[in-house]
Every structure is written in structure tokens, then in C-alpha cells.
Structure 1
Amino acid sequence: MKVVSSILVLVGLAAAAKEVPPPGPDGKYTLTAPGITAKFIPYAACITNLIVPDRNGTLRDVILGYDNASFYAVDPNHSDYGAVPGRYVNRIKDHTYVLNGTRYFTEANDGNGTLHSGTNGWSHRVWNVSEVTDHSITFTIRDEGNSSLGFPGTVIGSVTHSVGNGSWSTILAAHAVDHLTPLMLTTHPYWNLDAFSNPDTDLVLNHTLSLPFSTRMIGIDENTQSTGALPSIPKGSINDFYSKPKQIGASSTDAAWVGNCGTAGGCAGYNNQWLVERNESQAGLPLATLSSGWSGIKWDLYSDQPGIVVYSCHWMSGGNQLKQDQGGTASNGFVRKDGCVAVEPQDYIDGINHPEWNRTKYQISGPNTPPFSSHIQYQFSTI
């Protein structure tokens, strides 16, 4: 029912916009519910703050972002903090794809590949604020054809963020109005469940991750682009988070750690996609769980998407400043390498270039196809 509601928002986008309240004095819209406070801005339909209690009742802001709402648009590091990237998320190999016999070339903004649709993708745009309540906010966007290089046709998109009893949920919907085009969306929060306040470390290598339905992954080449392979993950190997939960840094001494997420740049740790393969009886179970033994904060991730990207922030270079309510004695006030983890439920990366995967029916949308739709929910608790 929620997905249907979001799709209806798309239909009404061309109508006169509702009058919505302005943001708060900090330039952000604040949503509250029992056990959770979240803040959002129109730039990239971003979540900027997410505050939950730890096991002792201390409130922790557990996602990365900035206090200054206006800084997101000019951030020289632009890390897609809390953003909704689009119209096609993640990587397109060699910045090209073929659609109905026509070859399109997209912006090469990630080596020879395209990342998050290029430097004018949806995570670089100011969205419309269409509706705001105490518990939800809806952003909409009209994306004209080729406004991001190589993406034909007009697309109308909608994102509804909402908070409930200790939960943050997002409904994503998009529809191509007049031309077939690639469509794939996700949310892009970066997590540190200790809010960088653990006196022993400001990194997330001690966070515990579980991916119980992920025994295969997308094969990548030296540049972190898809190879077309869907390799099985050996039990006990660096990428095994299915046989039992383990800390993100548990394999940091493994010879495979450096280069696991791309050998060309020496990417160490994780910037990979795991497939989520559940049977019908498992469909309602979380596809991932992340927790911190220090703060006791835990989330379970629910989504209808068949894959999940995990990035352990190897490329963070110390230039991203923390918010005022984050940090402790182990922190220098900036995000260091391995200081965060991004978790992104989405369809198969680069699926538009691999028809053998049979994902194009979910990743290509047009005026005569079903709209793109997805739901993502993080349910918080303590351990």
C-alpha cells in the first residue's frame, strides 16, 4: 500500500504544489517518533541526522553529515552523505550501455566508469518538498532527458522518508514519462553506531555485520567495475558474512583485505555488492544487521531489493568534519579511513549491461512499463 501511495505522488507532481511549512532554524526538517529523531534537507533528499538512544539511554547521532545544511551543495568531498542517488545508482562499466539497439555514453566520473549517474545525478540536485508531517516528508524531482549525460527521457521521482517506533523507512518511486531509460534508486547513509564517541576507536572495524542470505556477490575487476560473474562466497572467507555475524575488520589481517574492493587503487576492505537470495518464507526477514558492542545500538535492515552494497569507507581521507554532537577522545573531529560504513539495498550493479542476469525488466522503465518502486527500513534496538 505504501508503494502505491508513492506512485500516486508521481501522478500528482505536475499539479500545483501544496504549501508546505519551512524548515527549522537549522535549515532542516525534523521528524520525530518514539525512540528516534531524524532530520532532512531538500538537497539530494538527504537525511542529515538520525538520533537514537544507546543501551544506556544516551542519545547518539549515528549517521554522517553536517551541521550546516547549506554546506552539502558545496562540499568539495561530496560523499553522497545521506543522499538518494539517481536516476541510476552505483556503477556503469566503461560509462556506456545499449538500450533497444542504441548505444548511450554516460559521464565517466569514476575512472572509466560512471558512478551514481555522474556529477549532475540526483544526489547533486535540490528536490521539491511536496508534503511534510510530524512523522514523514516527501521529496519530488522532475529530471529532464540527458540532464545527466546519456540518460534519455523525462523521469519523475518521489521519495518519502518516515519515522515510526524506533524506525526509519523510505519509499522510493520513479517513472519514465516518454522514453525507456535506466532507473535504479537507493538511499546512501553512512553509519557509525558509536557516533565516533567510543574512547578506544573512532573506526567501525569493531561493528558487527550479518548478511544471512548473501552467499554470492557481484564479481568485480581491478577498477571495482562488474565483470559479469556472480561468484559464490567460500565459507570463512573475507566476504563471508552469512555463516555467522562478524566484525567488519575481522579479516583486516587477511592477505585478501587489500584489493578486495579493487586492486587498481589498493582499495582495502569492502566496496562490494552481495546478492540477497531468500525464499518466500524468508521474504519478511532482515537482509542485514549491523550492531556495535560499545554503544549497544543495533539496526535490522528490511528491503525488497535483491542486493546490498557495503562500503567500509576506505576512501575517506580525513577531510569530512563531524557534527558537533559527534566525536570523543579517540576522534580528531574528522572522518578517517574505515571510520564509517555505507549500506545500500539495490538491484544488481550494472544490470543494464548484463541481460543474462534478467534484471533489465526491473532496471529499465518507460511510459508503458511499471514504475520503479522500492522500500527500505532500518529498525533500531539495543543489545
Structure 2
Amino acid sequence: MSASAAVPVQDSYGRLSDGREVFRYTFRNSRNVTVSVINYGCVITDILVPDKNGTIDDISIGYDKIEDYEGNPRCFGSICGRVVNVISKGKFVLDDKEYTLPLTFSSLENEAPKHAIHGGIQGFHLKLFSSWIEDDKVKMKYVSPDGEEGFPGELTTIVTYQLTNQNELITEYSATTTKPTIVNLTNHAYFNLQKHDYPNLDDHVLQIMAEQYTENKDDDIFIPSGKLRDVTGTPFDFRKPVRMGDRLKEGPHGRGFFHNFCLGESGPLKQAAILDHPPTGRRLEVLTTEPGMHLYTGCNTIPHTRGKSGAVYEPFCSICLETQHYPDTPTHQEKFPSIVLRPGEHFYSKTVFKFSLIPQ
């Protein structure tokens, strides 16, 4: 056990409607940072961090009760899989065989679902993982049966959480399969560095270490076209810090951002983004081994959602920095980094959320 990390404590978070018990694991480190996670959907329920005056606030969007997470249509704080993000038309080809997935998503309001998203009707965000404490880490495991939500192979996934005394929330993912399949995992945490119930992102300042982004289609605005575009001279240029209030309405179609940024090769741990909030002095850094990071600013898919402590979450009240492979990779498998996993191979991914204060 490392003295440089907080030791988690387990308690009960309640029971699902079918009677199964859900466990919560709470980390408290030496710098007054507290993080709680539950083994239903591997959800991060709370992230409490101090501001420049020492005031501690929860900066993570979410719910108070397991009854709400049992639905969780916005995937608040959860793991998404087997494949996060969109697969256009719910179809993909692997080794010359076509697979069909449930259609659960459309780019337009009041339109019948046309695409698959976030692993299906009952994706990983709605699964109860087995869980245990191992030294200063929490490990959560789920075995997805062959054919679940249309995906081939029995997939065994382990998600690991750790909070260090350097204020690093470390998430590690590993997976193995019994048949060739596709895997793309992320955590869907929503942040507001002012406080979880603050109504907007305007005073947040974002920097993304990306020279390119994956272009979305004009006629289906959440679906990649397959082309990589240079960020220069576009609303997607976050290479220098940008105040979000000055950029959100410049986003495509005035609906904010639902776009993947290209970070480079998968494997090495690299800095993906820095999110600052000057009024509170809080800073969030994102590091990852993934080749992409999806920027999501709430758009119009969080309409008047009631959350924890009586908060009401509205569009553009929070930001997601989802480290992952590119969206709709199976459709563009010759252009995008592969998400294919085969028997005998080991999928591994690591993301670090580091909390600190903006240097003076």
C-alpha cells in the first residue's frame, strides 16, 4: 500500500429495484479532496475540492440516490461501454461479418433513433459491477456475455479507481475477450469548477492540446464525416486558453461542442486538456493514454434535469472531457485508430484527472 494515496472506505449506497445492493467507496486524501464512486455503472458520484480560499465544493454533476442512477439517461459520472459514443446506423463490420446494434440515438429532436450510442440500451453505465478494495485502489469488474447489446465475444472488464495525495484521480481500464470484438471505454463525468449546481460555464477557461479534430457531418451534426481537420482558424482551436463564455455560441450550429479532438498516438500518458476557473482559482488537468478526447458541453440534451441537493441542471451548465478513441471508429476503420480487441490481447487505458489551484 502506498503512503502517497488515500485509502478508500466502503459503505452501502442503497439497493436497486431488484434488491441488489450497491456499494459506495469514498477516498479522502491529505489535501482535503474527497471522491466517492459506486459500483453501479462505476459512477463517480462526488468530487469535493477546495478553492483558493479553502472553501470546499462538489464540482461533479450527479444525483443523490441510487434510484436516479438506475436510469441515468445522461450517463452522469458513469463508465460508458462496451463502445462509448456513436456508431452510425448501429452497424459495424468485423472480419467480414456485419453486426447490428440497438438504435438509441438521433441527432435531431423528436426523430426516431438512427444510431447506436454508449454501448446500447443497457450499456455499462447501467450495470452492477462486482467490486473490492485492493490496497489503496477500488476495483470493479463486469463480465459482458457474448452477444450482449449485439457485440460479439464475452468481454471481461475491470475498472480501477485511485486518489493520490497529489490530488490525482486515476482511472484505469483493462479488458479481455473470447472473440474478436470492439472496445472503447471512457468515464462520462460532468464538471463545473464553480460548483455542481452553478448554472453556466462562462467563466471557465479551456485549453486542449490538439492540432486536429474529427469533423462532423453538416446534415447529421453529431456524426463524424471521417475527415480530420486542422483546428487553425476554427472554433475548435483551443491550443491557447479560451474563455468558454466567448466560445460556446460560436460552436457549430450554436449548440456548443460535441466533438472529438485528436491528441496523438495511444499508449504514452500525455496531457490532453487544462480547465481553469479563475473566480475560484480551481484547475483541472486531464492526462490520458487515449488518442482522443471528446469535448461535450451539455448542448440541448440536459434540459431541466433535477440533480443532487435540489440542483436543476440546464444546457451548458457543465463540461465533459471524455478521453477515448475516436467516435464512430468502426465506420472509418481505415482512417481512425483501431478499437478491435482479439482473444489473447489485453486492452488497457489510463486517464488522470488532477485537481489543483491556478498558479499565481
Q: Taking structure 1 as the reference length, what is the TM-score of the superposition?
A: 0.81
Partner residue, 2:201: 204
Question: Which amino acid is 1:137 matched to?
Answer: V
Instruction: Say whether residues 1:110 and 2:105 are aligned partners.
Output: yes
Instruction: Give 1:25 shift.
Output: 6.5
Partner residue, 1:61: 58
Instruction: Give 1:285 shift.
Output: 4.6
Question: Which amino acid is 2:97 matched to?
Answer: T
Question: Which amino acid is 1:120 matched to?
Answer: Q
In structure 1, distance between residues paired with 2:75 and 2:249:
29
The Cα offsets for residues 183-217 of structure 1, whole Å up to 9 and x where unpaired, read as: 1111110001111466xxx20122111012x1211
Question: Which amino acid is 1:85 matched to?
Answer: C
Aligned runs of 1:151-300 on 2, under 5 Å?
151-165=151-165, 166-176=167-177, 178-196=178-196, 202-212=199-209, 214-221=210-217, 222-223=219-220, 224-235=222-233, 237-242=234-239, 244-254=240-250, 257-259=251-253, 268-277=255-264, 285-300=270-285
Length, aligned pairs only: 331
Given the alignment, which residue of 298, 308, 317 partners 1:322?
308
Structure-2 change in CA distance of 1:47 and 1:95 (3 Å): same
Instruction: Give 1:249 shift.
Output: 2.5
Question: Which amino acid is 1:375 matched to?
Answer: K
In structure 1, distance between residues paired with 2:353 and 2:77:
13
Structure-2 change in CA distance of 1:292 and 1:154 (3 Å): same
Instruction: Give 1:74 shift.
Output: 3.4
In structure 2, distance between residues paired with 1:354 and 1:181:
16
Structure-2 change in CA distance of 1:125 and 1:59 (3 Å): same
In structure 2, distance between residues paired with 1:189 and 1:39:
12
Given the alignment, which residue of 100, 106, 131 partners 2:133?
131
Instruction: Say whether residues 1:98 and 2:96 are aligned partners.
Output: no
In structure 1, distance between residues paired with 2:168 and 2:341:
30
Partner residue, 2:293: 308
Partner residue, 2:350: 375
Instruction: Give 1:167 shift.
Output: 1.5
In structure 2, distance between residues paired with 1:106 and 1:344:
22
* Contact 1:305 1:374 survives alignment (8 Å): yes
Partner residue, 2:26: 30
Instruction: Say whether residues 1:339 and 2:317 are aligned partners.
Output: yes
The Cα offsets for residues 271-317 of structure 1, whole Å up to 9 and x where unpaired, read as: 1101013799xx55521000111211101111111100010001210
Given the alignment, which residue of 334, 341, 346 partners 1:356?
334
Structure-2 change in CA distance of 1:21 and 1:241 (3 Å): closer
Question: Which amino acid is 1:276 matched to?
Answer: L
Structure-2 change in CA distance of 1:355 and 1:307 (3 Å): same
* Contact 1:196 1:203 survives alignment (8 Å): no
Partner residue, 2:341: 365
List alignment gaps of at least 5 residues for structure 2.
1-7, 15-22, 107-113
Instruction: Give 1:227 shift.
Output: 1.2
In structure 1, distance between residues paired with 2:71 and 2:248:
34
**Secondary structure in 1 matching 2:259:** strand
In structure 2, distance between residues paired with 1:29 and 1:275:
33
Q: Which moved more, 1:306-315 or 1:63-72?
A: 63-72
In structure 2, distance between residues paired with 1:106 and 1:74:
20
In structure 2, distance between residues paired with 1:296 and 1:170:
24
In structure 2, distance between residues paired with 1:25 and 1:366:
36
* Contact 1:65 1:323 survives alignment (8 Å): no
Partner residue, 1:145: 146
In structure 2, distance between residues paired with 1:106 and 1:25:
32
Structure-2 change in CA distance of 1:303 and 1:103 (3 Å): same
* Contact 1:80 1:123 survives alignment (8 Å): yes
Instruction: Give 1:132 shift.
Output: 5.1
List alignment gaps of at least 5 residues for structure 1.
1-19, 261-267, 325-332
Instruction: Give 1:69 shift.
Output: 3.0
* Contact 1:131 1:139 survives alignment (8 Å): no
Instruction: Give 1:247 shift.
Output: 1.5
**Secondary structure in 1 matching 2:313:** coil
Q: Taking structure 2 as the reference length, what is the TM-score of the superposition?
A: 0.86
Given the alignment, which residue of 43, 52, 58 partners 2:49?
52
